[in-house]
Amino acid sequence: MKNIVKKNIVIPIILSAIFISTTAFKNDFFEIAKQIEIFTTLYKEINMNYVDETNPADLMDTAIKSMLDDLDPYTRFMNEQDVEAARINNTGDYTGIGARVKTQKDKLIIIEPYKDYPADKAGLKAGDEIIKVGDIMVSDYKEDSGNLLKGASGSTVNVTFKRNNNTKTATIERAEVEIKAVPHYSMVDTKTGYVVLSKFNRKASAETSYAIRDLKAQGAERLILDLRGNPGGLLNEAVNIVNLFVPKGQLVVTTKSKVKKYNKQYFTSREPLDTDIPLVVLIDESSASASEIVSGTLQDLDRAVIVGARSFGKGLVQRPKQLTYGTQVKITISRYYTPSGRCIQSLDYWNRNENGEAVRVKQENYNEFKTKNGRKVFDGGGIFPDVTINKVKNTTITKAILNSDLIFDFATDYYYKNPSLDIDNFKLTDTDFKDFKTFLENNNFTFTTDTEKALYKAYETSIKENLNNDIKADYDALISGLRNSKKQAIDAHKDFILKSLTEEIVKRYAYREGLYEYYKANDAHIKKSTQILGNTMTYMDYLR
């Protein structure tokens, strides 16, 4: 049924909004009107005549998503719940239980309770499985069960949850929750300040400025700005963060679009906080969008040394457009470019390969640009650090392990088997790694490689062609070899697995705040950054 409406569909609501607001589409008036009429007729006939009962809302949802899937991952239809989630992300404020929660089919999982907020005060912990909210069984609730936890500040909600196969209850008093853009800042040593910026909401630059001022008052003469895992956010806040370190009137980012009014240059507009303090910026594979604007601009201006791994490469700019009934469509309108002219975007969604997949620019096709001091930098997507540390290739196995939630589940088991932990001296051992591999086996962890998919497809074809008797033994031998290779691949990613496990376990005992303290003593990125900042000649050599 869904296949019927999946291809060649134009959604009236979205196209009407596009048509009204964007003059570039006026020349296509006839084609737009034609496609709207075709879709409306098709939609009516399907709902009236299909052999089984259809759900008009489900059909429309599939049609919208299928149409937008042909564009890029960031152009998205937003229902009323999505719009509210975006508001919370941008403001950092909401009313609720104060915990990160994952919705599953028949339960809600507490992923991370925020320290001293309602869920934490009520005794809930990461790994708790909420099965009942008030009188409503989560398994019977057909909509997003996470909404059951929302309510006015001061109101209470009773939850029933499972922990270690035991059923417990708790009463949570909802409250105003503030999600900080800067969840942590402190001194690494007597002269080095450390600031974690986790998102670019409306408070990002104000909180970062406050943190830096406080650290300088404590004696900080150099700074580490940690943007690892920061997915981005508001563009103007990225400009304001850069403005803390560079003079007023400096170009920070340029956006380019086929629509003339979206072609803009963004300059710093305030007096800076400190243009001289030595600065290292930490990035990784999850640093995206606004994080890349900040790190890329500071690199182009030779204002900071960038340490870590190549960033995500999200250089597409979205703008929400209001639709009817409280919904929106978030449309990609342009691309980001750093001051040197580099495009941040890594994947090309408009020139896909034969499998319909977006592709990266090949390294031999990277374009060279120059920083303010004449250093060579390159495009090709994302920001390349000046100092690369612990680069982890995003492989099939790393994705599979992270998506399986088994690192999270192992940490839950570890926490209850080890009631106390010396965080300062905590380090997982080879025995712990062996235990994790056993945990994977006991939980039937599997993943399928592209090689296996290709072999299975070839074997299926051989069956149709009556050749399977000739190649069955070879096929089985190859599959057996691949299984052994997959086991070896887990060992090859030991460092990545142990790091991920360590971070998850430390949070169980000391919350996220404790994880940042653990980083200061154990993290290779922070150690390297402190070393660079501790030697003026070394620091300046990176920027020459």
Residue 453, both tokens: 């998919």
Which stretches of 317-449 are DSSP H helices?
396-403, 406-417, 430-442
The one-character DSSP state at 343 is: B
What is the reported pLDDT for 214?
98
What is the reported pLDDT for 468?
63
E-state strands within 363-506: 368-370, 376-378, 387-388
Q: What are 214-237's pLDDT values in tens digits?
A: 999 999 999 999 999 999 999 999
Q: 12 pLDDT band (50/70/90 cuts)?
A: very low
Q: 255 pLDDT band (50/70/90 cuts)?
A: very high
Q: Which residues are catalytic?
A: 289, 314
Question: Which of 158, 11, 138 has the alpha carbon at shortest distance from 71?
Answer: 11
Pairing of strands 376-378, 368-370: antiparallel
- Percent of the chain at pLDDT exceeding 90: 62
Q: 336 pLDDT band (50/70/90 cuts)?
A: very high
Q: 186 pLDDT exceeds 90?
A: yes
Question: Which of 427, 519, 432, 533 has the alpha carbon at shortest distance from 229?
Answer: 519
Query: What is the set of domains in the chain, with CATH numbers?
Result: 30-69 (no CATH), 93-178 (2.30.42.10), 184-389 (3.90.226.10), 396-525 (no CATH)
Residue for token pair 């986790």 = 198
Q: What are 102-117's pLDDT values in tens digits?
A: 988 788 999 999 999 9
Residue 461, both tokens: 């074809």
Q: 16 pLDDT band (50/70/90 cuts)?
A: very low
**Angstrom distance (rounded) from CA 64 to CA 59:** 9
Residue for token pair 């809930």 = 124
> Considering Cα of 181, then 121, then 515, then 188, what sign does the dihedral take?
positive
**Angstrom distance (rounded) from CA 159 to CA 118:** 12
User: What's the average model confidence in pLDDT over 90-108?
Assistant: 86
What is the reported pLDDT for 31?
85
Give the mean pLDDT of the chain.
89
What is the reported pLDDT for 1?
43
What is the reported pLDDT for 237?
97
User: What's the average model confidence in pLDDT over 500-509?
Assistant: 96
Question: Which of 300, 286, 278, 161 has the alpha carbon at shortest distance from 225?
Answer: 278
Q: What are 26-74's pLDDT values in tens digits?
A: 567 788 889 889 989 999 999 889 999 888 888 888 888 888 988 999 9
User: What's the average model confidence in pLDDT over 191-209?
Assistant: 97
User: What's the average model confidence in pLDDT over 390-411?
Assistant: 83
What is the reported pLDDT for 10?
42
What is the reported pLDDT for 9?
41
Residues 6 or more apart whose Cβ sits within 8 Å of residue 216: 193, 274, 277
Q: 333 pLDDT exceeds 80?
A: yes
Q: 15 pLDDT exceeds 60?
A: no
Q: 489 pLDDT exceeds 90?
A: no
Lowest average pLDDT, out of 411-415, 437-441, 443-447, goes to 443-447
Q: What are 451-479's pLDDT values in tens digits?
A: 777 777 777 777 777 766 667 777 777 77
Q: 393 pLDDT band (50/70/90 cuts)?
A: low
DSSP 143-170: S-GGGGG---TT-EEEEEEEETTEEEEE
> Is this structure's pTM higher than 0.75?
yes
User: What's the average model confidence in pLDDT over 345-358?
Assistant: 83
The one-character DSSP state at 119 is: H
The one-character DSSP state at 425 is: G
**Angstrom distance (rounded) from CA 226 to CA 182:** 10
What is the reported pLDDT for 8?
42
Question: Which of 246, 280, 252, 276 has the alpha carbon at shortest distance from 264?
Answer: 252
**Angstrom distance (rounded) from CA 439 to CA 428:** 15
Q: 2 pLDDT exceeds 50?
A: no
CA 289 to each of CA 335, 369, 420, 422, 483: distance values in angstroms, whole numbers, following the listed order: 10, 20, 39, 37, 38
